[in-house]
Amino acid sequence: MTPDISIIIVNYNTGILLTRCLDSIRKENDDKIRIIVVDNGSVDDSLDLLQADFPEIELIANRENPGFATANNQAIKRCDGELLFFLNPDTELEPGCLQAIRKFMNAHPKVGLAGPTILNRDGSSHPAVEYRYPGSRYGGRQFDDLPGKIAWILGAALVARSSVIAAVGGFDTRFFLYAEDIDLCLAVRKEGWLLAEIPEAKVMHLEGQSEKEAPFAEVMERKVRSDLLFLEKHYDVATVRKIRRVRLLESRWRICCLRCEDFFFDLSAEKKEKLIRYEIMSRLYGHVGGQGI
């Protein structure tokens, strides 16, 4: 039987969580799926666990980490099913998820990309749908003519028609990690397709597991650089300059306040992380690509 859903999972040092994700897929007992795992140079036991316990999956093992977008594109090239299901390794499918995806996408032919309902570990719902793009409050009405009201969907679990992904050229590989889901959703809408949430399909998500061992400053730098890339790709120069100026002023004000507080009191761990974040924002928003604001 030809698979109609190709499940693509990009893994980086999340071996145990990946096996739980694959177990949840296996429990669906679905013979119309294809699973491709792209490992981005993991140094944990991910590859050993996969080869020992999941011989049915197709594995692409990268020696180094080329980034999340590039890894997804590697797998897309191998897929020939009607639907692509991009799934994070720190997720688990709730029973009936795959069948709910099929039913929804068949019933809504104008939807090019959709997201399952995301649940936290305790079963509470996790916001997965956004109605505005980063910086859109400064960008005028340039996105008002796009179809639907949903701007983008959390990239932890995304379902897309393979024809739509082919039309937009897959993920933009300039996004190493973060904001690639926002960029992809915008590209899909620009092709005239709707975005949607699939209420009956549920996925539990443990957020940020692949980055949990990375230094906080390193993670924040990647996030801010991705945000800047999105802004510079989709807004005109004047709008980007305005956004950078506003965020630069905000970050410098926050730095000033936190440093004053630190002079008189010891900052909590949370506020120390805020200070790091604002210092990174100040540096990157104030001086990008050799050009000041």
pLDDT tens digits along 100-153: 999 999 999 999 999 999 999 888 999 899 999 999 989 878 898 999 999 999
* Cβ 53 vs Cβ 19: under 8 Å: yes
CB of 21 closer than 8 Å to CB of 90: yes
259: CB partners within 8 A, 6+ apart: 275
**Measured between alpha carbons, how far is 9 from 21 in angstroms, rounded to an integer?**
9
Span 159-177, average pLDDT: 96
Instruction: Give the domain ranges of the chain.
Output: 5-211, 236-292
pLDDT at 290: 41
**3 state DSSP class of 172:** coil
Please give the biggest Cα pair distance in the chain: 69
d(CA 24, CA 22): 5
For the stretch 259-282, pLDDT in tens is 998 888 889 999 999 999 999 999
Contact at 8 Å (CB) between 52 and 164?
Answer: no
Residue 289 clears pLDDT 70, i.e. is over it: no
Give pLDDT tens digits for 197-256: 999 999 999 865 556 677 899 999 999 999 999 999 999 999 999 999 999 999 999 999
CATH topology of domain 5-211: Spore Coat Polysaccharide Biosynthesis Protein SpsA; Chain A (3.90.550)
- Inter-CA distances, 228 with 16, 186, 241, 280, Å: 33, 16, 11, 12
pLDDT at 197: 97
pLDDT band at 189 (very low <50, low <70, confident <90, very high): very high
Residue 75 · residue 87 · CB < 8 Å = no
Each residue's pLDDT tens digit, 75-89: 999 998 899 999 999
Tell me the pTM. 0.91
Is 291's pLDDT higher than 50?
A: no
In this predicted structure, the answer to whether residue 292 has a pLDDT above a threshold of 60 is: no
pLDDT tens-digit series, residues 11-39 = 999 989 999 999 999 999 999 999 999 99
Sign of the CA dihedral running 36, 9, 228, 275 = negative
